[in-house]
């Protein structure tokens, strides 16, 4: 694959997804072009032995691909090699509790790929029988907020994002909720970066509230965004989903701003890529409903 033929495995999986039942690969970095017959052998070609293979491969670094199971269900071998993922418990609201009673957590753990601009982002996450409630505080001054319409490219502005995979054990699709400081939303669904479809709906369904130029008791400036996701609406796309205590879902939180003065890419659960890639579902963290 990568080492021998220079193939792009992610693109290959996308092209062949309708035919693949399961794939697991381990490969190395491609240092130079080689004749595949030198590595794999061929009838009438030089026979390989362990010494010959050692000479060909050298000491290339090992790379593991974890996003190649189209069912989304890791088998036993994959689970033993599963990378460490962030985990978070989403608090359950009762009639006696309020969103403001739950703790804020720092939801963006690291800024990857570009360094130097690292705005702090905190969040409160709660759920009830009716919906999932999310509230973010983004500590940056004068956020860029150009876009105002449904499914505008808000990721180019100062943007906070939630990628949400409701039934990871049976359905690899996920939704991406992306918001700028105007409260404009970009919403899509699909199984990966290449297989995505916009969802056009009245944004009022999500009860979006956005305010800027807020100041806390330490004098720190932030903008705030809150919204909710109806479980009934989620079930219209994922019919098997049930919001019950102990339910495991997967997702990731991101902070970005492609066209801002200081482009930046922050993540909750670390993404294992050498370039910005928010659609790496194998890096999604684990969220439990309390």
98: CATH = 2.60.40.1190
Q: Report CA-CA distances (Å) from 62 to 136, 145, 272.
A: 38, 42, 14
Domain boundary among 57, 80, 103: 80
Encode pLDDT of 170-179 as tens digits: 999 999 999 9
Q: Alpha-carbon distance 55 to 53, whole Å? A: 5
Domain boundary among 80, 95, 126: 80
Q: Are residues 67 and 96 in the same domain?
A: no
Encode pLDDT of 42-78 as tens digits: 656 655 565 655 554 444 443 444 454 444 444 444 4
Q: What are phi and psi of 40, to 5 degrees?
A: -95, -15
Mean pLDDT of 268-288: 94
Q: Are residues 199 and 182 in the same domain?
A: yes
Report residue 126 as tokens. Answer: 């709660």
Q: How many domains is the chain built from?
A: 2
Mean pLDDT of 22-35: 58
pLDDT higher than threshold 70 for residue 79: no
* Per-residue pLDDT, 23: 59
Q: Which of 178, 109, 272, 162 is nearest to 282 (CA)?
A: 272
Q: Are residues 162 and 178 in the same domain?
A: yes
* Per-residue pLDDT, 103: 85
pLDDT higher than threshold 90 for residue 30: no
The whole-model pTM stands at 0.73
Q: Are residues 226 and 128 in the same domain?
A: yes
Encode pLDDT of 207-222 as tens digits: 999 999 999 999 999 9
Domain that holds residue 216: 87-289
Encode pLDDT of 86-129 as tens digits: 999 999 987 655 666 778 999 999 999 988 899 999 999 999 99
Domain boundary among 28, 49, 80: 80
Q: Which of 61, 62, 260, 255 is nearest to 161 (CA)?
A: 255
Q: Are residues 125 and 203 in the same domain?
A: yes
């Amino acid at each position: 694959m990568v080492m021998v033929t220079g193939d792009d495995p992610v693109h290959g999986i996308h092209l062949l997804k309708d035919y693949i039942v399961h794939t697991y690969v381990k490969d190395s970095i491609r240092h130079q072009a080689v004749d595949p017959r030198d590595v794999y052998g061929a009838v009438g070609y030089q026979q390989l032995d362990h010494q010959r293979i050692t000479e060909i491969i050298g000491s290339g670094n090992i790379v593991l691909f974890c996003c190649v199971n189209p069912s989304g269900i890791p088998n036993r071998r994959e689970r033993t090699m599963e990378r460490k993922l962030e985990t978070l418990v989403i608090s359950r609201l009762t009639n006696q509790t309020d969103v403001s009673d739950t703790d804020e957590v720092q939801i963006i753990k690291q800024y990857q790929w570009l360094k130097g601009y690292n705005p702090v982002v905190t969040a409160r996450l709660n759920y009830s029988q009716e919906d999932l409630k999310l509230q973010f505080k983004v500590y940056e001054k004068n956020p860029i907020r150009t876009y105002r319409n449904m499914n505008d490219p808000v990721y180019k502005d100062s943007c906070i994002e939630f990628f949400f995979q409701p039934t990871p054990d049976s359905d690899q699709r996920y939704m991406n909720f992306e918001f700028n400081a105007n409260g404009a939303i970009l919403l899509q669904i699909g199984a990966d970066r290449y297989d995505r479809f916009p969802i056009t709906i009245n944004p009022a369904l999500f009860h979006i509230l956005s305010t800027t130029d807020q100041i806390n008791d330490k004098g720190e400036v932030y903008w705030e965004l809150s919204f909710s996701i109806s479980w009934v609406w989620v079930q219209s796309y994922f019919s098997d989903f049930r919001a019950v205590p102990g339910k495991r879902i997967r997702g990731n939180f991101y902070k970005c701003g492609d066209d801002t003065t200081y482009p930046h890419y922050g993540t909750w659960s670390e993404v294992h890529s050498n370039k910005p890639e928010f659609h790496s579902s194998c890096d999604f963290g684990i969220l439990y409903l309390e």
